[in-house]
Amino acid sequence: MAPFLANLMRAQTPRPTVYAEPFAGGAGAALRLLVDSDVQEIRINDLDPGIAAFWRSVFFDTDRFARKITDCKVTMTAWRRHRAVYLSPEGRTDLELGFAAFFLNRCNRSGIIGARPIGGIDQSGQWKLDARFNAVELAKRVRYLGAFRDRVRVTQLDARVFLNQIADDPDPVLVYVDPPYIVQGDQLYLDKLSYADHRDLALQLRASQFRWLLTYDCDGRITDELYPDLRCASFNIAHTAQVQHIGREYAVFSDNLVVNDMGILPRETAQWVV
């Protein structure tokens, strides 16, 4: 999404200097915009204690986190230990908890923290646990990102609280909202939202003054109930949670967001729904 978000920001007046994600997760778009200097500052938020601890460690305890990567032995014993840490976050340090989340992301199927390990519990699969754990390269990436710490804020808030804080921010901001799916969200996210939560989020976004873009799974309730009066487009996206396939998502735009063309969305398949 990063190239399309960069194009979208260039179309705005005034141009956003801050980019924010209330459901940051892997924050791939945020990091790309940061290192490419498309924004002055990013604000990444995730209520998941492990994910928030991971980002705090990457940016504010960089050297120790990078050393943990290079010192790590990728075994099923380590997988079980880190899984236990992630599932019981109380009393853990950011370094311990954040590394557990990182280890599971690198060693689980499709990078899903709650999934099973690559290769299976008995490691009989074609690919093994360490298939995506190139320690030298991963530590290098962490050290590179750590150099941007002065342009990053990390929070661990309910998304609605985070959005309330953004509403009071004096800087021009673009918010990219990528909440858990309405359908099958409980299978892909540990912190799923109820439909009432999705409805509350919609009410808050529609009443907000900041500029925002939201992406969702294609579900009729998005256009019929949650965001019936806003522009909505659909586009293709690759999914890898089980077998690689192309799915379809919705993008919803705030009224005050300038959208010149479908070039802000990935692939040539984007089209207006509403």
Domain end call among 146, 167, 187: 146
More confident position, 270 or 109 = 109
In a domain, 139, yes or no: yes
Q: How far is CA 208 from the centre of its chain?
A: 21
In the sheet that holds 18-21, the strands lie side by side as 152-155, 41-45, 18-21, 173-177, 211-217, 245-253, 231-239, 271-272
Confidence category of residue 270, pLDDT binned at 50, 70, 90: confident
The residue type of 56 is: R
Number of structural domains, the chain? Answer: 2
pLDDT tens for each residue of 15-29: 999 999 999 999 999
Q: Are residues 213 and 261 in the same domain?
A: yes
pLDDT-based confidence at residue 183 (cuts at 50, 70, 90): confident
Tell me how far apart the alpha carbons of residues 195 and 208 are, in angstroms, rounded to a whole number: 20
Closest to 250 (Cα-Cα) out of 236, 229, 261: 236
Residues 167 and 240 in one domain: yes
Please indicate whether residue 143 or residue 193 has the higher confidence score (pLDDT): 143
Inside any domain, residue 212: yes
Instruction: Please compute, for residue 209, the number of CA atoms within 13 A of its CA located in the half-sphere on the CB side.
Output: 9
Task: Flag whether pLDDT at 257 surpasses 60.
Answer: yes
58 is a domain residue: no
pTM attached to this predicted model: 0.91
| 155 CB-near residues (< 8 Å, 6+ apart) | 43, 44, 45, 52, 162, 165
pLDDT at 191: 60
Q: Which range of residues forms the domain containing residue 262?
A: 4-47+157-272
Give residue 240's pLDDT: 44
Asked which of 126, 146, 166 is the last residue of a domain, the reply is 146
* 115 alpha-carbon distance from chain centroid: 17
Encoding tokens for residue 272? 């207006």
Using pLDDT thresholds of 50, 70 and 90, give the confidence band for residue 243.
very low
Assess if residue 54 is contained within a domain.
no
What mean pLDDT comes out for the span 109-120? 95
Band (267; pLDDT cuts 50, 70, 90):
low
